[in-house]
Structure 1
Amino acid sequence: MKTELNLMERERETVVGHVRKLIRKKKLNNSNNNNKKKQTKMMKRPTMLQRLFMYCQKLFKGLGTVPSPDDVQNLCRILDVMTPEDVGLSRDLQFFNSAFLSDRGIPRVTHTCIYECKKFSLTLLIFPAGAVIPLHNHPEMTVFSKLLLGTMHIKSYDWVDTNNLVGMKPLSQLRLARLKADRSFTAPCDTSVLYPTSGGNIHAFTALTPCLVLDVLGPPYSKDDGRDCSFYVDFPCKDIISSNSFLLNGTKTMKEEEGDCRYGWLQEIEPPEDAEMDGIEYLGPPVVDVSAMLGSCNSNM
Structure 2
Amino acid sequence: MKVEASNGEEEKRSGSKRNGERLVRGRRCRRRTRWRVTAIQRLFLACKSVFKVPGTVPEPADVEMLQLLLDKMKPEDVGLSTDLLFFESKSSSKGTPRITYATIYKCDNFSMCIFFLPPKAVIPLHDHPGMTVFSKLLVGSMHIKSYDWLDPVTSIFSTPSAKLRLAKLVLDSEFTAPCNTSILYPTTGGNIHTFTAITPCVVLDVLGPPYSKEDDRDITYYQDHPYRKYSDGDTDQGGVEDHCHRWLEEIDVSRYLKMDVVAYLGPQVIDG
TM-score when normalising by structure 1: 0.73
Q: Quote the residue 2:115 is aligned against.
A: 125
Q: Quote the residue 1:141 is aligned against.
A: 131
Give me the CA root mean square deviation.
2.5
Q: Quote the residue 1:282 is aligned against.
A: 264
- CA distance, structure 2, for counterparts of residue 58 and residue 244 of structure 1: 55
- Structure 1 SS opposite 2:95: coil
> Aligned in 2, Cα 1:40/1:244: closer, same or farther, shift over 3 Å?
farther
Q: Quote the residue 1:155 is aligned against.
A: 145
Per the TM alignment, residue 64 of structure 1 is displaced from its structure 2 partner at its CA by 3.0
- Structure 2 SS opposite 1:152: strand
> Aligned in 2, Cα 1:222/1:40: closer, same or farther, shift over 3 Å?
farther
Q: CA contact under 8 A between 1:132 and 1:274: conserved in structure 2? A: no
Per the TM alignment, residue 180 of structure 1 is displaced from its structure 2 partner at its CA by 0.5
Q: Quote the residue 1:72 is aligned against.
A: 63
Q: Quote the residue 2:45 is aligned against.
A: 54
- CA distance, structure 2, for counterparts of residue 68 and residue 275 of structure 1: 34
Task: Tell me the matched-pair count.
Answer: 238
Per the TM alignment, residue 271 of structure 1 is displaced from its structure 2 partner at its CA by 1.8
- CA distance, structure 2, for counterparts of residue 236 and residue 203 of structure 1: 16
Match 2:160 to one of 156, 171, 180? 171
Q: CA contact under 8 A between 1:108 and 1:132: conserved in structure 2? A: no
Does residue 206 in structure 1 map to residue 196 in structure 2?
yes
- Structure 2 SS opposite 1:237: strand
Q: CA contact under 8 A between 1:121 and 1:218: conserved in structure 2? A: yes
> Aligned in 2, Cα 1:81/1:205: closer, same or farther, shift over 3 Å?
same
- CA distance, structure 2, for counterparts of residue 214 and residue 276 of structure 1: 19
Q: Quote the residue 1:265 is aligned against.
A: 247
Per the TM alignment, residue 147 of structure 1 is displaced from its structure 2 partner at its CA by 0.2
More displaced 10-residue stretch of structure 1: 114-123 or 84-93: 84-93
- CA distance, structure 2, for counterparts of residue 142 and residue 39 of structure 1: 36
- CA distance, structure 2, for counterparts of residue 128 and residue 207 of structure 1: 7
> Aligned in 2, Cα 1:51/1:130: closer, same or farther, shift over 3 Å?
same
> Aligned in 2, Cα 1:67/1:104: closer, same or farther, shift over 3 Å?
same
* Larger helix share, 1 or 2: 1
- CA distance, structure 2, for counterparts of residue 124 and residue 197 of structure 1: 24
- Structure 2 SS opposite 1:138: coil
**Identity fraction in percent:** 54
Q: Quote the residue 1:21 is aligned against.
A: none
1:249-301 superposed Cα distances (whole Å, 9 cap, x missing partner): xxxxxx9xxx8111100000002555321101111110001xx3xxxxxxxxx
Does residue 85 in structure 1 map to residue 97 in structure 2?
no
More displaced 10-residue stretch of structure 1: 195-204 or 267-276: 267-276
Match 1:222 to one of 212, 221, 244? 212
Q: Quote the residue 2:15 is aligned against.
A: none
- Structure 1 SS opposite 2:243: helix
Q: CA contact under 8 A between 1:95 and 1:127: conserved in structure 2? A: no
Per the TM alignment, residue 244 of structure 1 is displaced from its structure 2 partner at its CA by 8.9
1:77-96 superposed Cα distances (whole Å, 9 cap, x missing partner): 01001111000012314432
- Structure 2 SS opposite 1:70: helix
Structure 2: gaps spanning 5 or more residues = 1-28, 234-239
* Larger strand share, 1 or 2: 2
Per the TM alignment, residue 223 of structure 1 is displaced from its structure 2 partner at its CA by 1.2
- CA distance, structure 1, for counterparts of residue 134 and residue 263 of structure 2: 22
Counterpart amino acid of 1:177? A
Match 1:180 to one of 145, 170, 174? 170
